[in-house]
Each structure stands twice: as structure tokens, then as C-alpha cells.
A and B are shown apart, each in its own frame.
Chain A
Amino acid sequence: MTSSGFWSKLETVAAWMLGILWAMPLLYAIWAAFHPPAYAVNFDLTAPVTLANFWEAWHTAPFARYFINTILYTTMTTALQFVLCTLAAYSFACYDWKGKDLVFSLILVQLMVMPDQLLVVNYQTMSALQLVDTIPAISLPYIASAFGVFLLRQNFKQVPLALAEAARIEGAGPLRILLKIYVPLSKSVYLAYGLVSISWHWNNFLWPLVITNSATTRPLTVGLAIFGSPENGVNFAVVSAGTLMSVAPLLIAFLLFQRQFVQSFMRAGIK
């Protein structure tokens, strides 16, 4: 009894320690962003609170443009992924065709290839398509997501076959069966996948850095890196303010959706 109480207490303490360690950089950024630059490296509870850093960051770099670019890029990527993965998963889950297993295993192989390894090839492709330094060029390499196909296929397979058959008897065609039965029944998976995809692409850095070279296409991550690079002189307070601005929408979205997010992934795992 006492020993299990001891261990559970130890677990709680350890969880808190890890959590705090994890949150440190964010907590520091919040501190630095809301106080004058002089307080960026010394902790003083009486320090004046200010929004000047945000003001300065917003006006030094085209953050508004970066925001629009990131939003365009992530929504475009996620939307195209939804369409492509849904159609592919439907075919894998509900139809029989020659070579299906081979194609599916090739798609699974794609899960094991790091996107960064394809940097050069992807650049060549985009250049051949004359899309270098455009927003579609940031999206295109990611829209055929193996993870999305796999996740949706697993979920579609769990939808009872009788539902699709009942719909067929009632006269529904393949596309209507997909849109009226499979997609609505996989809502939670779409939500979870959408959140993962958005957060991943919101934070994506390397590929956008390579493929963009002007402020009109650059997403937040790349913009922020340039903004915070030593050539511009490091002002921690302003950089922190810029960072906070960049991550704020994502943080808010996760605070709003975290329950659905965790739940749907747990459910997907148990099944």
C-alpha cells in the first residue's frame, strides 16, 4: 500500500519535471516576448509588461505575408491529402483489382522514406514543372501521403460491408457510398489526421527553405529563421515575440481540439 503510494507520487513528480523541462523554451519565449529587451535574460517579477516586441517584430518582417503563405500552404496540402488519400483508401479498402497488394505494399514502403532524402529529386521535379518559388511547389511533394492512405484504409475497412450493400440496394453509386457513408463514419479520423497534417506542415522548414526564395512565397518557419538569423542582430525579445506569433494559431487549435485529437488516436491504436 505505502510502496504503491510512493511510486505513484514519484510518477507524478517525474511527469511534472518532464513537463516543465519540455515547456521551458516556450515559457522563456513568453517571458521574453512580453517584457522589454533588457529583461530578456534576467528574471524580475516586477519587470514592466509590454507589447512593443510584437509591434516591432510585425513591422520588421512581413509576418502578415508569411502567415498567409503558411495558411495557404497548409490548407492546400491538407485538402489535397484528404481528397487523394480518401480516394486511394476507398479503392484499397472496398475494391478488388489486380496488383492491389503490391501497390499497397509500395505505398507502405513510402512510409519508411524520409521526405528530406528526396529534397534534390523533388527540386528537380518542381523545376521541370516550372513551379520553383511558388506555394503549390511546397505542397505537391506531400499530397500523396502514405500515412493518410493507410490510416483511412484501416478505418474504411472497419465500416460494416452491409452498410455499403444496403446503400447499393437503395441505388447509391460508388461515389455517393463513399461520401454519404464512409467519409461521415470516419469523421474522427479525418479530424485527427487533419490536425497531425496541419501541425506537421505548419512547422515544416527544410523543404520550404529550399524551394522558396522570396517573401511572397515563404512560410512562417522560413521567414522566422531569416528574421532570427545572426546577420540581423539578435534581439531575443523580438525573436521571441515573432516565434510566439508563429506558433500561436497552432497552440490555440490544439488546446481546442486536444481531446478529440488524443481520443481518436487512442481509438485508432486500440482497433
Chain B
Amino acid sequence: MQIEIRDVRKDYGRVQAVRGVSFSVEEGQLLVILGPSGCGKTTLLRLIAGLEPVTSGTIHIAGTDVTHLPPVKRNISMVFQSYALFPHLNVRENIIFGLKVRKVPADEIERRLKRVVDLLGLSGRLDSKPGELSGGMQQRVALGRAIIAEKPVTLMDEPLSNLDAKLRNSMRREICSLQRRLGITMIYVTHDQVEAMTMADRIVLMRDGQIVQDDSPENFYERPANTFVARFIGTPPMNIVPLCPTQGGAALEPGGRLLFPGMDPDRYLFGIRPENLRLAESGQPAMVTGREYLGSDTFVSCEIHGQEVIVRTRGRRNIREGTVVHLTWDPGDVNLFDARTQERVDSVVPARKEGRENPAGSIGG
């Protein structure tokens, strides 16, 4: 276990920024801390870096309790959202700043500098000041400063948020491959779910200072822990609609086609990913309210009993608004959530579940 966070809390006066967070990171793993702005993810990273003291809890890095150690003794390097390049120093001085502080011998500095410059394609820019470089180049310098330290753990605070979309994609792949090649253990903070899904070995999703789900990207997508996760991950997000009573159980509209025999419709929410819905000859009727053409796909917005449901279809679909279509799906792709707690309901056999929880059976029968 490379990094272990146990019940870490951080209060700013009466504001609780991080409230009891625990997780661990394996050696060589890339862990993404994901969450909307203000969820405490950056604060958590700063606590791990040692830039701020924890209110309570412990942080272990490589088996050592570093909770009360200064940043330099934690064996970490960090890339800041603003890059934090020293504007008065040139690229070379920026990259080797830390090595000089730690009095690394000159020939060793040169050796490491050469390696990092080759790795990041910075040759020829060593004498430029950060202000003369493009955003992407500045990002590389910031990466270089983190890599040259040769620390086993690197912390990244939204490093790509200041780049344009195209550059972000290529830098994302580059950071990933660097992390793999150098075997760095990395904690990467972002609010961008695409970055999280594509880069992470594991994702920790935070909300209001707490962990909502700590899982692999696959599980985040396929088995979201609650409706917040389901709506946060995926573009467009998962369709989540309340169920309605019908003859013998629950349906998507009152008195509609029976989907879950014997289920109490008020207790559950029905969730399905847009790409798992198909337009078919028969099935759940829905009225088309709009469509978005993206080239490879078309997102068709439909309405079922006042609830919007988005269907992702391949290629171009010329469906007029107001048309009534029919939707089908595989039962295995359905996610059910508790209507009250919003948590995932895992025993997906509704009849048996209902049988246990509501022995009276169907309602309004």
C-alpha cells in the first residue's frame, strides 16, 4: 500500500471541507479524485501534500505516518492547477529548482535534466521564461518539475483545466503514459468525468466532503452507487425516472406495460443508460420531443409520462418531433435506485424483493 488515508477531516472554522475520508492507493496506481467544484477534492489533495494540516485522521505514505510531516519529507511531487511556474526563472531553472534546494550534485542534475527534457520534448526551450511559452508548454514544464524530483508519489491538482479541449486530450494520454512508464503512484484531482474515466485505475468520487463511491471506472459506469454517481458519470447522463403503479406492479407510466411484477413503484427509481435503449417496433411507447445530431450518434429525447428520457442511436436518425416511438432494453442493463435514499438497489429481482419487503403483494390490484 503506497498511500493510505484514514478518516481524514478538515474544518475551516465551522465549515467542514473534508469529513472523514478513507481510501488507499496501491503502488503504481493512478487514482482519480473526482467531484463537482467545492466538494473538497482539492482540499483533500492539499492535506495529502502537507500544504495544510489535517483536523483529524492519519495519512500514511509508503508505510510512514506523514500526517504531521512538512511537504518535503513526504516524498511527493505536485503539479498545480495554475502550474505555479516561477515567472522570473527560465525553464531550466524552474525544472531544477527543487534539486538545487536539496543540493543534488551538479552532474546528477544535468543527467536528470537531460532525461526529463527528452521525455517531455522541451529541448530548445530551456532558456525561455514561462511567460513566453504556450499553455501546453507551461504544462510540460510543470510536469518536468514534478518528474525530475523522482519521487514515488505525484499529486496533480486539475492540471489540464487551463488547456483547450484538443490539447487536453493529448496531454491526458501523455500524462497517463508517463505515469505507466515511470511507475509513479499518482493522485489526480479533476472535475472532468471524461478525464477520470479515461485515466484512472480507480476513481474516488466525492461530494460535500465525503466519498460517494470508490471503485473502478467500469463499476462507476455500470454499477453506480447512487443516483448522484449515475447522473455525474456519462454523457449524456443516465436516464433516471420514477416508477408508476400499474396492474400487478410497477411501470414507466400509470397503468402502463408491467415491468416489475409485484413491485411497490413508490419505493424505486428506474435508471438506464441512453445507449442501452433501442428504438423498436414494439415496447414502451414514448413521444419524441427533440433530437441532437452529433455525427456518429443522434441523441433522441423522448418523453414518457412527463419524464425526459434520452436514447442514443447510431448515425443519423430523422425522427420528427411528436412521433410516438417504442423503446426496448435488456433487463440486465436496468439500474434500480431507492427512491428515498437514492442508493443503488442491488438485488434486482423485484418480485422476490417485493415479496420479502411487502408480503401483501401487489397494490391497487
Contacts and interface: CB of A to CB of B under 8 A. Distances in A.
Interface of A: 160, 162-163, 165-172, 176, 180-181, 184-185, 187
B88 A171 contact: no
Contacts, number: 54
A181 B149 contact: no
Given A160-B82, A171-B101, A171-B102, 19 more contacts: A162-B81, A162-B84, A165-B51, A166-B78, A166-B84, A167-B97, A168-B72, A169-B49, A169-B51, A169-B71, A169-B72, A169-B76, A169-B77, A169-B98, A170-B72, A170-B101, A170-B102, A172-B98, A176-B101
Given A165-B51, A166-B78, A172 B84 contact: no
30 contacts: A160-B82, A160-B84, A162-B80, A162-B81, A163-B84, A165-B51, A166-B86, A167-B86, A168-B51, A168-B70, A168-B71, A168-B72, A169-B51, A169-B71, A169-B72, A169-B76, A169-B77, A169-B98, A170-B101, A170-B102, A170-B145, A170-B149, A171-B102, A172-B98, A172-B101, A176-B101, A180-B86, A180-B97, A181-B86, A187-B88
B98 A170 contact: yes
B76 A163 contact: no
B121 interface: no
B236 interface: no
User: Which of A160, A163, A176, A185 has the largest number of chain B CB atoms within 10 A?
Assistant: A163
B87 interface: yes
A165 B76 CA distance: 13
Nearest to B103: A171
Interface of B: 49, 51, 70-72, 76-78, 80-82, 84, 86-88, 97-98, 101-102, 145, 149
Contact of B80 (A165, A171, A172): A165
A162 B80 CA distance: 7
A249 B142 CA distance: 45
B92 to A, nearest CB: 15
B96 to A, nearest CB: 10
B88 A185 contact: yes
Contacts of A185: 87-88
A165 B72 CA distance: 11
Contacts of B72: 168-171
Contacts of A180: 86, 97
Given A167-B97, A184-B88, A162 B71 contact: no
Contact of B82 (A162, A168, A171): A162
Identify the 10 closest CB pairs spanning chains A and B, nearest first: A170-B98, A171-B72, A162-B84, A166-B84, A184-B88, A169-B71, A171-B101, A162-B80, A169-B78, A172-B101
A166 B82 CA distance: 11
Contacts of A172: 97-98, 101
Nearest to B94: A166
A251 to B, nearest CB: 31
A157 to B, nearest CB: 16
A163 B98 CA distance: 13
